[in-house]
Amino acid sequence: MRLTGKGKAKDIYLADNGDIIFEFTDRVTAFDGAKKAEYPHKGKVCCSLAAYWFRVLEEKGIHTHFKEKIGTNRMRVVNLKILPIEVIWRNYVAGSLWRRFEKGGIKLPDYAEAREGALIPGGMIEFTTKFEAVDRPVSTKEILDSGWMTGKDLDYISRITEKINDIMFYPLVRKDILLADFKVEFGRTQDGKILLADEVGTPDGCRFWDRNSYIRGELLSLDKDVFRKNKGDLSAAYIAIHNRILKE
């Protein structure tokens, strides 16, 4: 097994048989790497939740790169060529969407109130670049004109992302968790098949809010916003969301 790269939160190894081994670390970054730290248990939580959701999604017909969880913080996955865009599904107005609206750069979707935390009826999808120095929102036109994906492939990952949301959203609501938004990545196998890649359903890649607090008018974060906005102890927040999701 050979170390081939270090991401913001994972170390990446190439196994002898050609598979990829992800090692989920306790590293955390925000604001394009400007803010960095390490928090105990973070890697174990994200590995555990990613493995859980990959299994759930596979059972529902979503094809992923997941093969197996190894120990507490490692995962074996198919070696893919990662597509150069990230996909974001939004159920509520939050994060960069809200910041761009506040700056006057965009309009909010139809029927969404102009406030942070507002529901987006029917949800919405966005795309960002993946391998630029600073990722940025990108239109479907630019994706197609740049030759990053075909229209057929773009339609496919859009449908899969919406289906992922449908699969995750209501089981989380039943556990009093709101899935405000999430991001996913996709990759292509050597024979051209597109698979869900990287990780899914973790507090690194999802924005989770406590539902009861939301009803009271408070956005109580159970995700990386705890670190971004100095809202408390990240380890405690990650352990809390892990236990709530996996509790039967």
For 200-215, write each residue's pLDDT tens digit: 999 999 999 999 999 9
CATH of domain 81-233: 3.30.470.20
Residue ranges of the chain that CATH labels 3.30.470.20: 81-233
Q: At what angle do helices 42-59 and 151-173 cross, to 10 degrees?
A: 110
Contact between 85 and 91 (Cβ < 8 Å): no
- Structure confidence at residue 31 (pLDDT): 86
Amino acid identity at 93: V
- Provide the whole-model pTM: 0.96
Residue 15 has what pLDDT? 97
Q: pLDDT below 70 — which residues of the chain? A: none
pLDDT value at position 33?
78
The CATH fold of domain 2-77: Phosphorylase Kinase; domain 1 (3.30.200)
Residue 247: its pLDDT value, please? Answer: 87
CATH 3.30.200.20 domain range(s) in the chain: 2-77
Strand partners for 23: 11, 74
